[in-house]
Structures are given as C-alpha cells and as structure tokens.
Structure 1
C-alpha cells in the first residue's frame, strides 16, 4: 500500500513544477469547463421544454393537454431558476477565490481563537473555519430557498409550508449539520495527523463507520425532527403490504407514513434499515385520500395556522385545493406495485452493491488524497504559502483537483442506477404487478407535474431513473416476454 502511495506521489510530482498561479487558474478553468458542459445540457433540455408537444399515447388515460402544458411550464420555471442559481454560485465562488477568501478566512478563524489563547491549534481553527462557512452558506441560500418554495413551488401548487415552518426548518438544518459535521471533521483531521503512513486507511475506516452510523440514526432520530412520522393505520393497505413482505421474505419491522403534505405536494416511498429490521416509509401524498392524522384538534390547529398565514386566499380556493389533494395519489394496489419495485431493489441487492461501490470509491479517493495533500503547489495556488492545513488540503483536493474524476464517477453511477431501475421494474412485473406499476408511475408523473419528454443527452447524463416513457415501454416488453 505504501508502494502505491509512493508511485502516485511520483506521478503527481509534475504539480510541484507548475507555478502556483498557473495551477490556480488551471483548476478554476477546469471547474468552468465542467460547468459550461452542464449549462449546455440544460440549454438542450430547456429547448426541449419550449416545444409544444401532444400528450403521448401512453398517458392519454391520465393526462390532458392542459396538464401537459402545466407540467411543461413548471419544468421551464424550474430550469430557469436552477440555471440562474447555478451561474450565480459559480461566479460567486470564483470571485471569492480570486480575492483570496480561503487564506483570509483561515487567518480570521485563527484571530478569533487568539482572543482565547488558542491560536495555531489546527483542529479548533478548522472547526471555526467550517462553522463560519456553514453559517454563511445557510444565510446566503435563504433568499434562493425562499424564492423556490414560496414563489416557484407556490405558483404551481406544490408548496405547503408556512413562513414560520420555513424559518424553523432552516434553523434546525443548520444546527443538525453543525452537530454532525464539526465532530466528524475534528476527528478526521486528528486521524490524519497521527495516522502515520497508513493514515488514509484509518481515515477511510472512520468515514465509512460514521456513514453507517448516520445512515442508522438519521431516519430514526434526525428525520423526525423535520417531519411527522406515524405508523400506517390498520386497514387493507397495511395488511396487503405485510402479506407481500412476508411472501418475499422481506424483513419488515415497521411501516410509517410521513406527513410530506405539510411541506410539499410531491410524493415518494422508500425503505431503510439494516439486516432484519427494515422499515418502509410512505409519503401521505402517495396514498389516495390518506390523512396522517385523524385528531380533530390537530386538524383545527393546522387549519387555523393556514388561515393566519394565507388570509389572502379565498375559502373556495382552499376547498378546491383540498378536493384536488383528495383526488391525487395511488390506490392500494398501485402503492403495492411501487413497494414491489422497492422490494426488487432489496431482492437484487442493489442497495448493497451501491454501498460497496461508494465505500470502494471512498477508499480510492483517500489514496489519492494521501498522494496529493502534502504538495506545496496546491496550497500555494490558493494563497497558503507558510502553512498546509489539513482541512484546506481536503477542501482543495476534494472540490477542485478531483472534480473531473467525480464527474466521471457520478455519470457511471447514473448509468448503473438506470439499469437497476429497469431490473426493479422487471421484478414487479414478474410478481404480476405490471399493470398496477404502470398506472402508479403515470399517476405519480401527473401528480408531481413531471414533463414526460426529455432531451436524450440531458436525460442520459442527469437522470438516475429512466424516463417514464422508457419505463412503460420496458414494462410492456417484460409482460410479453
């Protein structure tokens, strides 16, 4: 292993021969080239949205021309927002790097600690550095997030949040992120400091372990801080899910319904958990006519809050929205088909394969980091001539030096993900849920106001799931094979 690191260090020795300024602008240029490619793909997709097309034959039973046009306008609005936001972030980041924000912020973090006689203690300085960045990122993103939810999503009927809910949510996210991130960053830096020649192995084991721990505690202890999770009530759907899980020998422990309608009108379903304790989570918006709470006092409180924050809406508008909500969602048989697709991922070990790939990739990335992080040229390129802080090395290497690799790796995962989605659909077809799955996918397409037409290149590069039309075609082929 040490021989591998030495070989990579020799390979990357050319970096020391490059002038720091040249290296800095080269890394900035690479980031802009990748960003330009992304914008080109988005342009192709936007042009696709601008074309007026008829409802595809596969969707004529669930979608009208008016609904297709609404989905098209929604997609165009989201694309414009994402492009403006992306360009702004890219320009902002470039300007901050050009004016030397990283060394300035590192020095400022040290000055803050100097007040308490902790100057030059690298781990504490790194904590202050990361804390400042997280606070800045949260504050600077508030206008964008507010616009997205209360203008864009509100315009198309998806936003269900109140301003009070939004503010509380933002504060909670910041606090949870700090509580999770700061200790992990501190321990990671300490491991790199004392790990010796094999620090990258210990760092990899640490990050891998923390990833598994967070994967366990997040759905059980963190997600309930943001959304309400209730057990699925007794009834036909609960019985059917338990029967299907038993048939497939799926180790089902609990079935929850999350109150997604308090945040958005979008739908989803997933499962989580390790070994013999899997838990299924259904969004209340996925189940037709389902309300997560039957408590009248809770409902009155929510109604009162809605009336106080949305007084500009007329009563008949609210009643019409509630009527539309009741019409959305899937029937029990269709919900079962969606879950059967998820069971397919479990049965075919897709989640386990993805987990192994991510951990192997993480190990490879730490090997590359070990070969790169002591290169003075990298630190000098970003204004660090006297010191080589480990945190700054992590930031430069992971966000800039390895960016092309991450792009290629992400694309490979996207291709693999689409393959897995077809296999999971086929699993549901084999269990005789083809028609139900097809109906569910079409309903979710309409309920989420998703535009069914996509640019071929954009979809191949970005979509982790095949397009709806591709999935419906594959389901029909699987039925006849």
Structure 2
C-alpha cells in the first residue's frame, strides 16, 4: 500500500476503542461490591443482592470475552485480507456497483452474525436462563434471527441501493438526496414502527377495560394528553424483564405495556411510569431526539461526501480496487470517534431529559409511585446500583437509580 496513513488510523481507532471499552468495564466491575447508597438500600434483600452480584459478574466476564472476540475478528480481517477476499468474490459475481455493495455488506453482516451466534445463544440460554430471565424457546430464538436478517436485507438493502444510486447520479451532492431519503425513512419508522415492525416479533392486544385503563385515561385527560391507543405486548414470550414505551407521533401515538410490567407493578406505579413517558412528549424530548438524529445523519453523510472519492480510504481496508462500498466501510471506522463524541452529548442530554420527565411525573401524578416502580424494575432486572461515574458518563442514557430518586425527593 503506497499510502498507509488511513490504515494506521483505522488500526489505531480499533485498538483505542477496545482498550477504552475494556478499561471502563473493568472500572465498573470494581464497583460491583460497593456499599449500596442510602437511596437504594431497600431495593435488594441479602439474597437478592448476592444474586445481582453474581449476575453482574457473569455479564462482565461474558462482555469481556465477546468484546475481545469482536476486536480480534475485525483486526484479523483487516490485516490478513478478509475484506479483500470478500471483495474479490463479489466482483466475480457482479459488475454493477449496487449489486456488489449489497453482496459485500450482506456477506459481512451475515458472516459476522453467524460467528457471533454461539455467543448470543450462550447469553440467552445459559446466563439469562441461569438467573431466571429467559423465556425464549429455541424456535423463537432462531425465528427472530431469520426475521432480523430479512429486515436487514429488505430495509438495509433498499437504503444502501438508494445511497449508491444517488452517488452515481448526483456526484458530490449525493449526500443531500441520501439525507432526505433517510430523514423520510426515520420519520416513517417513528410513526409506524409499532404497526409495521413490532407485529413481526410480538403480539399486541388492546388493554382490557378495567381500573388500570380507566386510571391511565383519567390521567391523560387531566394533563391534556391525546392518549391514542393502549396495547399490551407479550414480552414474557422472551424474558421476564419488564418494559413500557410510547411510539409514534400525532394521531399515530401508541402506548405499549409489556405483560411483564403489568405483573410486576401496582396500578398506580404503572400510571406513574406512563406519566414519565408523557413528560417526554410534553417537554418535546421526542421531537428533539428525532430532529437531532436526522441532523447527525446529515452531518455524517456530508463528511462522507468529502472522503468517499479518496481511493486511499477505500484501499485502506485491503481491497485491490477502490469502490464506494469499500470507502464506506473505511469511513465508518474512521468516523466512529466522531460518533462517540456525538453519542456522549446525546447521552448527557438524555439523562437531563430523564430528570425532567421524572419531575413531570412527580408534579402531575406521584413521585412516590414512580420511585416504587423504578425500585421494583431495578430489583427484578438485577440492575447495577453502584455504576462507576466514568461508565455512566460514557454509556448511560438514563441516570443511575440513586440519582433519579434524589431528584424525585428534591
């Protein structure tokens, strides 16, 4: 390679990211056995606390192993010609830029997923099973994989094809058309995700009439929130862990309650959780996050347009001939530090938004009920209640439980 600068940058980024991840995980693991803060001391009894310790250590060891495997796989592929081998294969199969790119990325993503399949199996059927979380059957596990691959082929393939077509048609300005297409797609997914994607994996049933539904409707009327539809998802099909979320915008808003949430929480606690989600809408956090996501995508595509025609960038991953798909892969790795920085900013804002949504739930419904819900969910999920501040800063989109409780009591 005549100009190895980009190759050295790519290797440096991969090594730096692996070392940083390993360090943060180690620092976080050292705090597993720290005394629980006063605010969360009543979450676990002695037996549950010991179980949570074992769960966190199992997750830490598993995460270290999978991170090392992924790092060595990527580095080995880069240094020993793996990308070049796949590139040569797809060039023999097709002459078109779009089919070559689809085959190239399809082979990489499918191959990577297959190589990581034993890890996913072990995590689901050994670790999660050992601690009582797993409800997934083998049939569901593999069917989920097939459905995910199908979505990747259809949705990812269409978006990648559109981006390459814009590149060949519009040249340096391709990023504007690609940005517009992805922005429309992002908006449509926010509107119709629950109607189009969720049913592929889970059943959704309307929440039955009763005191819970009446309580939710009364609260929504009190705060002037256009409720939309309330559905129950069969989350227990895969895990005992509970969840709830809002999706959609405008008239497409939908509340989704996991059946595990209905089992774990009292009715006032469920309403408090939903009041928190309503707070995100009332404070316009949902719109902000959507706009920020679209803006960051535009930034990435603009920077890509400045580098995509650089043959040295494409050949830095070891391929014999420059191409759009090779440049896109090299750019993706080189851009990852920028993504880390923007991710840190978004995480910081997200934690701030969580405090605001908690305060909204406290003011409009009950801080006590929300506190009880958060404690129960943390207990049932064996959550880490003593995370390292650096780990929180880098990875947490929600504040630690103790900080949320302090905020609710303030």
Relative to the length of structure 2, the TM-score reads 0.96
Separation in structure 2 between the aligned mates of residue 341 and residue 406 of structure 1, nearest angstrom: 28
The equivalent position to 2:323 in structure 1, one of 389, 394, 403, is 389
Separation in structure 2 between the aligned mates of residue 91 and residue 354 of structure 1, nearest angstrom: 34
SS in 2 for 1:256: strand
Aligned to 1:68: 49
User: Could you tell me whether the CA contact under 8 Å between 1:109 and 1:125 is conserved in 2?
Assistant: yes
Aligned to 1:341: 276
The equivalent position to 2:302 in structure 1, one of 332, 345, 367, is 367
Aligned to 2:62: 81
Change (3 A) 1:221 1:239: same
Aligned-pair distance for 1:385?
A: 4.9
Q: Which runs of 5+ in 1 are unaligned?
A: 1-17, 114-119, 289-328
Separation in structure 1 between the aligned mates of residue 169 and residue 45 of structure 2, nearest angstrom: 64
The equivalent position to 1:104 in structure 2, one of 66, 69, 85, is 85
Measured against aligned partners, the alpha-carbon deviations of 1:98-131 in whole angstroms (never above 9, x if no partner) come to: 1122222122012123xxxxxx211111122222
Change (3 A) 1:247 1:277: farther
Aligned to 1:358: 293
Aligned to 1:92: 73
The equivalent position to 1:40 in structure 2, one of 23, 46, 53, is 23
* 1:404 equivalent in alignment to 2:337: yes
Aligned to 1:142: 117
Q: 4+ residue stretches of structure 1 with deviation over 6 A?
A: none
Aligned-pair distance for 1:248?
A: 2.1
User: Could you tell me whether the CA contact under 8 Å between 1:138 and 1:174 is conserved in 2?
Assistant: no
Aligned to 2:354: 421
User: Could you tell me whether the CA contact under 8 Å between 2:275 and 2:365 is conserved in 1?
Assistant: no
Separation in structure 2 between the aligned mates of residue 32 and residue 225 of structure 1, nearest angstrom: 38
SS in 2 for 1:443: helix
Measured against aligned partners, the alpha-carbon deviations of 1:314-359 in whole angstroms (never above 9, x if no partner) come to: xxxxxxxxxxxxxxx1100000000000000000000111111111
User: Could you tell me whether the CA contact under 8 Å between 2:87 and 2:319 is conserved in 1?
Assistant: no
Aligned-pair distance for 1:196?
A: 3.3
The equivalent position to 1:181 in structure 2, one of 145, 152, 156, is 156
Q: Identify the range of structure 1 (219-228 vs 229-238) with the bigger mean alpha-carbon deviation.
A: 219-228
Separation in structure 2 between the aligned mates of residue 357 and residue 185 of structure 1, nearest angstrom: 22
Alignment of 1:202-241 (within 5 A): 202-241=177-216
Separation in structure 1 between the aligned mates of residue 112 and residue 318 of structure 2, nearest angstrom: 22
User: Could you tell me whether the CA contact under 8 Å between 2:9 and 2:334 is conserved in 1?
Assistant: no
The equivalent position to 1:331 in structure 2, one of 238, 241, 266, is 266
Measured against aligned partners, the alpha-carbon deviations of 1:366-390 in whole angstroms (never above 9, x if no partner) come to: 111111111122123223454x321
SS in 2 for 1:265: coil
Separation in structure 2 between the aligned mates of residue 52 and residue 215 of structure 1, nearest angstrom: 40
* 1:456 equivalent in alignment to 2:376: no
Separation in structure 2 between the aligned mates of residue 396 and residue 62 of structure 1, nearest angstrom: 46
Tell me the C-alpha RMSD between the 2 structures. 1.6
Measured against aligned partners, the alpha-carbon deviations of 1:63-90 in whole angstroms (never above 9, x if no partner) come to: 2011111112111111111111011101
Aligned-pair distance for 1:218?
A: 2.9
Separation in structure 2 between the aligned mates of residue 64 and residue 359 of structure 1, nearest angstrom: 45
Change (3 A) 1:174 1:347: same
Aligned residue pairs: how many? 410
Aligned to 1:376: 311
Alignment of 1:262-277 (within 5 A): 262-277=237-252
Q: Which runs of 5+ in 2 are unaligned?
A: none
Relative to the length of structure 1, the TM-score reads 0.82
User: Could you tell me whether the CA contact under 8 Å between 2:314 and 2:324 is conserved in 1?
Assistant: no
Separation in structure 2 between the aligned mates of residue 52 and residue 348 of structure 1, nearest angstrom: 35
Aligned-pair distance for 1:61?
A: 4.3
Separation in structure 1 between the aligned mates of residue 330 and residue 41 of structure 2, nearest angstrom: 51
Separation in structure 2 between the aligned mates of residue 211 and residue 27 of structure 1, nearest angstrom: 29
